[in-house]
Structure 1
Amino acid sequence: MKHYNFDRVIDRSGTQAKKLLQLPKGAPDDVLSLWIADMDFACADPILEALHRRIDEGILGYTQYKTPECMAAITGWFFRRFGWEIDPGKIFFSPGVVPALGALVSILSDEGDGIVIQNPVYGPFAGKIAGNGRRVVQNPLICRDGDYTMDFGDLAAKLDDPAVKGMILCSPHNPSGRVWTREELKAVVSLCEARDKWIIADEIHCDIVRAGVKHHPLLKLCPEYRHRIISCTAPSKTFNLAGMQMSSIVIPNPEYQALWKRQTIERTGLFHPGALGVTAMIAAYNEAEDWVDQMNAYVDENFRFAADFIARELPLARVIPSQGTYLLWVDCRGYGFSPDELAERMLHRGHLALDEGVIFGEGGEGFERINLACPRSVVAEFLKRFCRALS
């Protein structure tokens, strides 16, 4: 097994990297960018080698997604990692999970319908609901002593509304880092089943969990309700392949499949994957498992390193214990800054570009989300600047 060097610092300037180009106005030249959720780790060697071979062939034409090789790579990965057997006929291509959310919201609801999200949560959930003329219905998570839990009473009340058609579940949860237990997920499904509501499960971070923590794919856990569950998966977070625009949407219900095909093929034509994306995904799922295991172990150490430092040097800040994702969620409310003041201090005093908690909706004010999928020397520099911003 190859040992990968995650300490290597890679200069991403000149690569059109979004994290370096899409910065707040007036950002300092030496800003440290740890906001968007892509890694600063080089991709696994088998992925890069497969891409080189494909490029050397000299032709990058139209490429099929529904091939035996591609389906075997996807289904093999999820069976090995989770024991989840997926029928290849129920897997559909999307260039990303966010475009899939937009399409699913459009085909599963009508204008004015309500859709539940559990804030603070990944911003595009609310964006795609509102952007399609639907109503965002918030079921806020409960944060008690740094531990996030679901408010099932409130969720039941929100789902009781006949105008609410379903919910988008973030599992693992972004930004809190919660990996929901079997019991929590079964409770969600039970509430939705009793009211005949659909569930879109965004499981894009499923492969990135702390040691000893287990993610439960919703369709595997609750197959009896599979006709009302859709799962969104992708290799992008797991293997640092976000730029390859490859996601796999699992849709067991034939009626929903027909609606999906009508939306993505007949209406928008979003059915052709990129040639290099397919190549990268097959190589990732088939040959890069050891890279994922080593990456997870390295990120675990980054979390321990950051949490220890913040507890020691910034006693008024609270690190939310992470069970999954590579995103550190820090409660800075103890310092008393308004959201605008906090953002100003991070950018202009700390020279840090982070994801401000307010973008995750109600309950995110006063928090910062930090991407720790980077070399430890970068984490150390972030912590030094974080101290400067809050001091």
Structure 2
Amino acid sequence: MKKYHFDKIVNRRKVNSYKWDVGEDELPMWVADMDFDTAPEIKCAIQTRLNQGALGYNTVPDSFFESYISWWERRHGFTLQKEWLMFCTGAVPAISSIVRKMTKENDKVLLITPVYNIFYNSILNNGREVLESRMLYEDGKYSIDYEDLENKLAQDETTLMIFCNPHNPTGYVWTKAELEKIGQLCLKHDVLILSDEVQCDLTHPGSKYTPFASVSEAISNISMTCMAPSKAFNIAGLQTSVISVPNEALRKQVNRGINTDEVAEPNSFAIQATEAAFNDSEGWLDELNHYLATNRAYLIEQVSETFPEIKIVEAKATYLAWLDCSAIS
């Protein structure tokens, strides 16, 4: 029996919504921001914190990191260590900070494209060069061009690869074998891996996400992973995430970077919302993922009937739809 009501319409206009404060005739379909009501368990935790009164500066308790450890263990079969984890105000601030701290000006940062557009900003705004390895596209499916990828990883100026797992925007869920092959190439050419995994809990029923750092100890040793409840639980506005870095030497550098950039302190609701998401809202997420799968099936059916020349790239994760409009003249 369903406990949550995802058919409820939430009016988000005129509340300073980045997505919806637009013209009445505009449809803001460009941003990964759901319109469902936030999980009641999260709203209750926020209300409880608000009722305590003062909203001053905050620390990060052990219970915050323990909620991540418990969630990844039971949902993804991967054991995080508490010392690996560092609070950050979001994946994008984390990525930009890591680019600044872990690369030098004019270094090349590799992207496997098409990919989340903000990665470009994090690279270019910090005086680094974007190096693209374009995926192959055939029969409605994307695949990595491994020869091209290795050629670009082998360039002396390439020091970092920013990766998206699961893939944004196509919704592809990388297999362990694919991640291992990519990771081995990075090891071979001494390139660090920065993996954005904030969409990992939006995998469709029956699909399995593999954390990049779980593939092998060697790959884990060159990996930095961005994790957050922001996408799956739709709380991006609360600015809460972690960076997981198993390698102690790398972790010290990353920690120095996010503290220098002043993106390592939580606001008054970030801790409570995160703990409520991971500890109390698992049922909400399970219902959400089933609802999203139904929505996607409906979209595919309607587009195929109404616009047969448009193809929707098959996705196993996220609520994004990547459309192939190349047949339209």
1:158-185: CA deviation from partner (whole Å, max 9, x where unpaired) = 0111111121111111111111111111
Match of 2:177 among 174, 178, 183: 183
CA contact (8 A) 2:108 2:160 kept: yes
Tell me by how many angstroms 1:224 deviates: 2.4
Question: 2:132 — aligned with what?
Answer: 138
**1:70-118 deviation digits (Å, cap 9, x = unpaired):** 1111111111101111111110111111111111111111111111101
- 2:47 pairs with one of 48, 52, 56: 52
Distance 1:245 1:274 in 2: 8
1:209 lines up with 2:209 in the alignment = no
What whole-Å deviation, never above 9, does each CA across 1:39-77 have from its counterpart, x for those lacking one?
A: 101111111111111111112221112x22111111111
Matched, 1:18 2:18: yes
Aligned twin of 1:159: 153
TM-score by length of 1: 0.82
2:104 match: secondary structure: coil
For 1:8 and 1:69, the matched residues in 2 are separated by: 32
Alignment match of 1:280 (pick from 273, 295, 304): 273
Alignment partner of 1:239: what SS?
coil
Cα drift, residue 232 of structure 1: 0.6
Give the corresponding residue for 1:373: none
The superposition leaves residues 7-43 of structure 1 with CA deviations (integer Å, 9 ceiling, x where unpaired) of 111111121110012x5xxx5x232322211110111
Aligned to 2:57: 62
Counterpart for residue 187 of structure 2: 193
Partner of residue 8, structure 2: 8
SS of the aligned residue for 1:32 comes to coil
Q: CA deviation at 1:2?
A: 6.2
Displacement of 1:312: 1.1
Amino acid at match of 1:295: L
* Contact 2:164-2:195 at 8 Å conserved across structures: yes
Alignment partners' CA distance in 1, 2:127 and 2:256? 20
Q: Which amino acid aligns with 1:16?
A: N
Do the aligned partners of 2:220 and 2:246 also contact (CA within 8 Å) in 1?
yes
Equivalent position of 2:286 in the other structure: 293
Counterpart code for 1:30: D
Letter in 2 for 1:242: A
Assess if the C-alpha contact under 8 Å between 2:102 and 2:254 holds in 1.
Answer: no
Structure 2 unpaired stretches of 5+: none
Q: TM-score, normalised to structure 2's length?
A: 0.97
For each residue in 1:242-271, what CA deviation from the matched residue of structure 2 results, as whole angstroms up to 9, or x when unmatched?
Answer: 000001100112222221222222x23222
Number of residue pairs the alignment of both structures matches: 329
Residue 218 (structure 2) aligned to one of 224, 230, 239: 224
Find the aligned partners of 1:64 and 1:47 in 2 and give their Cα distance.
Answer: 19
Residue in 1 aligned with 2:311?
318
Compare the two structures and name the one with the higher helix fraction. 1
What residue identity is the alignment partner of 2:222? R
What's the secondary structure of 1:335's corresponding residue?
Answer: coil
* 8 A contact 2:184–2:219 mirrored in 1: no
Secondary structure at the residue paired with 2:43? helix
Residues 1:30 and 2:30 are matched in the alignment: no
Please give the alpha-carbon distance, in whole angstroms, between the structure 2 residues aligned to 1:142 and 1:243.
35
SS in 2 for 1:46: helix
Correspondence 1:77 to 2:77: no
Is 1:306 equivalent to 2:299 in the alignment?
Answer: yes
Q: The residue matched to 2:11 in structure 1 has which SS?
A: coil
Percent identity between the aligned chains?
A: 33
Name the amino acid aligned to 1:62: Y
Task: Identify the residue that residue 271 of structure 1 maps to in structure 2.
Answer: 264
Q: Hey, what's the Cα distance between the residues in 1 that align with 2:262 and 2:186?
A: 32
2:247 aligned partner: 253
CA contact (8 A) 2:97 2:261 kept: no
SS of the counterpart of 1:20?
A: coil
- Which residue of 307, 319, 330 corresponds with 2:323? 330
- Aligned 8 A contact 2:204 2:317 in 1: yes
The question of whether the paired residues in 1 share the 8 Å contact of 2:59 and 2:265 is answered with yes
User: Which residues of structure 1 form unaligned runs of 5+?
Assistant: 337-391
Are the counterparts in 1 of residues 94 and 258 from structure 2 also a CA contact under 8 Å? no
